[in-house]
Homo-oligomer: A and B are copies of this chain.
Amino acid sequence: MDKDTDKKLKSRNIKPTAMRELVLKVLTEQKTAISLPELEDKFVYADKSTLYRTLKTFEDKKLIHSIDDGSGAIRYAVCQDTCECNPDDLHVHFYCTSCKQTFCLNEISVPEINLPSGFSLKSVNMVVKGICINCR
């Protein structure tokens, strides 16, 4: 139904089903990253495994990226339009230990690291923990 949502799916080569449109819409609404269990709560009538596979598809197609914030559940957030999830696209994430929300700090890209020789870099997960602006 939603033209924009539909376009976004197509632009990432994802067949736009009703389920996927709904999931993408919810993901887009979020101000902070959302986990599978949290998503389940928003879709009382959709199955866990369907949501799971939807997230996997979205991630494979680089519509969303995952963040391991150490909370026990992986969280997901919609990628920037230009994002290809290359090392240069990577940004820092912030996990608030008070409200347990995870923020994409899209403006802050992960600093370059000089690895010891012999080590090659594929990606980086950088999560800063502390207190967010809403909780202080």
Contact = CB atoms under 8 A, between A and B. Distances in A.
Taking the full assembly, how many copies of this chain does it contain?
A: 2
Interface in A116-134: 116-133
A103 B21 CA distance: 41
B113 A121 contact: no
A113 to B, nearest CB: 6
Q: How large is the interface on A (under 10, 10 to 19, 20 to 34, 35 or more residues)?
A: 20 to 34
10 contacts: A92-B113, A105-B115, A105-B116, A111-B113, A118-B133, A119-B131, A120-B136, A121-B128, A121-B129, A124-B126
Interface of A: 68, 70, 92, 94, 97, 105, 107-108, 110-111, 113-133, 136
Given A110-B126, A121-B129, A122-B131, 19 more contacts: A68-B68, A68-B70, A70-B125, A94-B115, A108-B114, A115-B128, A119-B128, A119-B130, A119-B133, A120-B130, A120-B131, A120-B136, A121-B130, A122-B129, A122-B130, A123-B128, A123-B129, A124-B128, A125-B127
